[in-house]
């Protein structure tokens, strides 16, 4: 979902690192996908070095969605995040108690929902201070998205509806953020525009389908909404 959303934001080449058992499926998602399978069916320590080589060649990476939460996979994930040489968008399994130690003052955006924020060991009221302390951007997802910036300010984004609570919409949000950063947008601006895009897409789709529109329709709507939002700003 993240890769397809990044593609919908305007990215042309998608490098998708997936478990070996999913590589063939990933290749069929888009002609722009280049699959990089793990050595096995879960992320492991032996995958870290080749993945770091891949990350050194790209403009931005989403890390976390789809990664197993076994002890071995989480240790490998921590090593990968800590050493990653490119801008990062961290979601899902990459949001752990150790995350802030690994990404302090990196070019990074974190996208936790309430449960992930709790897993990281922090209260939602702390997110602005955490963003300023670590020099990163944090998009705290919810009915209202709260975007905390490295300078300590907070941007609120309203909109959206219950249809956006289905699985995959958070992955899509992370993909749009990464896609915009890859196209040289500032991380704060990318998080803000991506949040607006996903929420407006959900609101437009709800008028046609009610709340049962699903994540794939949200992704298909991304180019239209991005175009509209950019026209609004021009």
pTM of the model: 0.97
**Residue in this structure with the two tokens 């996979």, named with its chain if needed:** 73
- The pair of structure tokens assigned to 200 is 């407006």
CA distance 85 to 72: 22
- Between residues 127 and 10, which one has the greater pLDDT? 10
For the chain, what are the domain ranges?
Answer: 2-229
Side-by-side strand order, sheet with 108-110: 61-63, 88-90, 108-110, 137-140, 145-148, 154-157
pLDDT category at 231 given cuts 50, 70, 90 is confident
Q: Each residue of 126-183: pLDDT tens digit?
A: 889 999 999 999 999 999 999 999 999 999 999 999 999 999 999 999 999 999 999 9
| CATH number belonging to the domain at 2-229, selected among 3.40.1190.20, 1.10.3720.10, 3.30.420.40, 3.20.20.70 | 3.40.1190.20
Q: Give SS3 for 183.
A: coil
Confidence (pLDDT) at 234: 58
Q: Each residue of 88-133: pLDDT tens digit?
A: 999 999 999 999 999 988 899 999 999 999 999 888 778 899 999 9
Q: Each residue of 42-66: pLDDT tens digit?
A: 999 999 999 999 999 999 999 999 9
Q: Torsions phi, psi of 16, nearest 5?
A: -110, 115
């Amino acid at each position: 979902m993240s890769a397809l959303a990044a593609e919908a934001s305007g990215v042309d080449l998608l490098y998708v690192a997936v478990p070996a058992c999913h590589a063939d499926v990933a290749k069929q998602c888009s002609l722009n996908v280049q699959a990089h399978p793990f050595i096995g069916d879960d992320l492991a320590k032996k995958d870290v070095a080749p993945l770091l080589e891949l990350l050194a060649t790209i403009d931005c990476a989403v890390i976390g969605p789809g990664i197993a939460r076994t002890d071995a996979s989480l240790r490998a994930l921590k090593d990968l995040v800590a050493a990653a040489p490119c801008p990062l968008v961290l979601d899902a399994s990459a949001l752990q108690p150790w995350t802030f130690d690994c990404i302090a003052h990196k070019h990074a955006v974190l996208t936790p929902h309430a449960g992930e924020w709790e897993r990281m060991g922090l209260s939602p009221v702390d997110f602005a201070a955490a963003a300023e302390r670590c020099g990163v951007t944090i998009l705290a997802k919810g009915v209202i998205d709260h975007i905390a910036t490295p300078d300590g300010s907070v941007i609120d984004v309203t909109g959206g509806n219950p249809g956006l609570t289905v699985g995959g919409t958070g992955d899509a949000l992370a993909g749009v953020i990464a896609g915009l950063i890859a196209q040289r947008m500032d991380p704060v601006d990318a998080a803000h525009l991506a949040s607006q895009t996903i929420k407006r897409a959900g609101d437009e789709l709800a008028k046609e389908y009610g709340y049962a529109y699903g994540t794939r329709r949200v992704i298909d709507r991304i180019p239209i909404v991005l175009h509209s939002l950019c026209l609004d700003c021009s």
